[in-house]
Chain A
Amino acid sequence: MTLSLYVPVASPVHRTPAGLKLGLLAALAVALFLVDGLAVVGGTLAAVLLLGLGAARLPWRSVLAQVRPVWPWLVLLFAFHLVVTDWHTGTVVVLRLLALVAAAAVVTATTRVTELVAVVEWLARPLTVFGVRPARIGLVIAMTLRFVPLVAERAQRIRDAQAARGAERFRFRSLVPLLVQVLRLADTLGEALDARGADAPVPVRRGRAGASTS
């Protein structure tokens, strides 16, 4: 199981800072809904594909794989518009969504997970006012990625134990022992974090040693 959609290629698109790419993506999402012209929307889609497949040299499979889950929706939407409005509106709606989804796929495929986590931490900086500590967001994301295979493995163990006792299939009631097990694990992890100083108070930025705060 590959745990990332990132496609490593040396390209100018890959080298563009992650924050800039995300900003442009957000701007595109807003701008695309302000225009209705078929040429503009279609042109945007072509430009996005040119950028992803041409400039970033992504294999078309990697873009297609991310766009594929949206297909049933697009077909439904187009069919709906054929019946209720007209094919022109339907085409614009579908192309607009395709352009946006493709653009998001290009950003995802050209940006490393660590870079995006760094952007998330940066975006969370204003939240320090409310007591949020951006560095902890990275920590929680790292713990999540570690917990996924662990939870899957514990679930398998419980399933095996039930099979050994003659249960034919997975019963949702066995989620209770599973949850209790992993909650205990999380408790242990929390204690381990505390032992390593994760619960230390927020470091206050001060001047050089000896300088007073006032």
Chain B
Amino acid sequence: MKSRDLAYIALFAAIIAALGLIPPVPVPGIPVPITAQTLGVMLAGSVLGARRGALAVLTFLAVVATGVPLLSGGRGGLAVFAGPSAGYLYGWTLAAFVIGVLTQLTWRRFNLAWAMVANLVGGVGVIYALGIPFTSVYGDVSLSAAATGALSFIPGDVVKAGIASVVAVGVHKAYPVIELPRRRPAAG
């Protein structure tokens, strides 16, 4: 891994942290205000790609775990990794990785539609697929009850996936960071 990659990883860990400083955005029609932090997770995956994106999220979580209160709402420390919603945090790393993989797969024809697919599958699907069972096991509640509790957050996350996709396409046009292995030059 090059020094530049290390700097990118630190940068996106910091971006996830900085997005936690933005006051939650109330959205009409949705009871839960949107905190921008998962937007940072989606951006890490879709701008940096699978490996660096997942490492950026991991770095952010490591910084939070060491007691720097950078999780939205000024939370931090090891306590947040012991709570019933910790499964969502663990899901972030995998989410960034999956978004990165899907982005790299569709890189040559990357557009808003592909970005949406990547961010919805990774940023919404993967996170809930991990978070809901975690809450269920941890709090001794049934899967369906945990899923019902999570439902109200999904619209906000879909909006965030949309924003992340628009931004990802913009960044890819202006300053692409993902490098694919060179294709052999075609003959002629």
* Chain A residues engaging chain B, CB cutoff 8 angstroms: 2-6, 25, 29, 66-67, 69-70, 73, 76-77, 80-81, 84-85, 89, 93, 97, 100-105, 107-109, 111, 113, 116-117, 120, 131, 136-137, 139-141, 143-148, 150-152, 155, 172-173, 175-176, 179-180, 182-187, 189-191, 193-194, 198-199
A193 touches B167 (CB 8 A): no
Query: Which residues of B (61-88) have their CB < 8 Å from a CB of A?
Result: 62-63, 65-70, 73, 75-85
Rounded to whole angstroms, the CA-CA distance of A199 and B5 in the bound complex is 11
The 8 closest A-B pairs by CB, nearest first: A190-B4, A147-B14, A108-B77, A143-B10, A104-B78, A176-B170, A193-B3, A116-B66
Q: Is the CB of B83 within 8 A of A73?
A: yes
- B13 adjacent to A147 (CB under 8 Å): yes
Stretch at the interface among B102-110, B114-122, B138-146, B180-188: B138-146
**A76-B149, A183-B11 given; A81·B140 CB < 8 A:** yes
Question: What's the Cα separation between A102 and B140 when bound, in Å?
Answer: 20
Given the interface pairs A101-B83, A116-B66, the reply to whether A173 lies near B167 with Cβ below 8 Å is yes
Residue of B nearest to A150 (CB): B14
Contact A140 B10 (CB under 8 A): yes
> Once the chains are docked, how many angstroms separate the CA of A136 from the CA of B84?
32
Task: Classify chain B's interface size.
Answer: 35 or more
Q: Which of the residues B7, B59, B177 comes within 8 Å of A141, measured between beta carbons?
A: B59
Interface residues as binary, B34-70 with A (CB distance below 8 Å gives 1, 0 otherwise): 0000000001000100000000000110110111111
Known contacts A147-B11, A193-B6, then 12 further A-B pairs from the complex at CB < 8 Å, ordered by chain A residue: A3-B68, A66-B76, A93-B139, A101-B79, A141-B63, A144-B63, A147-B14, A155-B18, A176-B170, A187-B7, A198-B6, A199-B3
Which residues of chain B are within 8 angstroms of A25 by Cβ–Cβ distance? Answer: 78
Contact B6 A145, beta carbon cutoff 8 Å: no
- 27 inter-chain pairs at a CB distance below 8 angstroms, sorted by A residue, are A2-B69, A4-B69, A5-B67, A5-B77, A66-B75, A66-B79, A85-B140, A97-B82, A101-B79, A102-B79, A104-B77, A104-B79, A113-B67, A116-B65, A116-B66, A117-B66, A137-B62, A140-B13, A140-B59, A141-B10, A144-B60, A148-B70, A172-B163, A176-B167, A193-B6, A198-B3, A198-B6
Contact A105 B3 (CB under 8 A): no
